[in-house]
Amino acid sequence: MTFASVLVLNGPNLNLLGTREPAIYGRETLADVARRCAQAGERLGLAVDFRQSNAEHQLIDWLHDARERIDGIVINPAAYTHTSVALADALSAIAKPVIEVHISNVHKREAFRHHSYVSPIAEAIIVGCGTQGYVLALERMAVLLDKGTEQ
């Protein structure tokens, strides 16, 4: 099987998953999420490159580096969702499908979390599905990249 490449990017504070506000984000660690994404990738025919950074410039540099190499992007931009025009511009500069993921239902939370600079660029947005949202995003990405069966 030829594997399409998907970059799964995680923004600030997601390295603390599992211990950070578990009532909101659950008990699974980022390493658990990375493992689930790798397993989903195997099943779906996607090579998953899973990364996290607390630094806006690092996320942007990774996007620039991946520009020619990857077929799609799954991103949980975390707090940069609500603040970063620069990250949104970097995503716009890449003509590849983007799926935005949020572990929590941001619309049930503070008003400042209701706006996303990334959503207007995204093909799909998955919120409030917990860490399962990453797997759902990869399943949808497989369809968008013509690896899946459903449209």
The footprint of ligand DQA on residues 102-141 (CB under 6 A) is 102-104, 106, 113
Site for ligand DQA, residues 3 to 22, rule: CB under 6 A: 13
Q: Please give the biggest Cα pair distance in the chain.
A: 45
Q: How many positions of this chain bind ligand DQA (CB under 6 A)?
A: 10
Distance of CA 8 to CAs 13, 23, 39, 41, 49, Å? Answer: 15, 24, 13, 11, 6
Whether 114 sits among the annotated catalytic residues: the reply is: no
Look up 80 and say whether it is catalytic: no
By CB under 6 A, the residues from 90 to 109 that bind ligand DQA are 102-104, 106
Q: Which residues are annotated as a binding site for substrate?
A: 76, 82, 89, 103-104, 113
Residues of the shown chain interacting with ligand DQA in the complex, contacts defined by CB under 6 A: 13, 76, 78-79, 81, 102-104, 106, 113
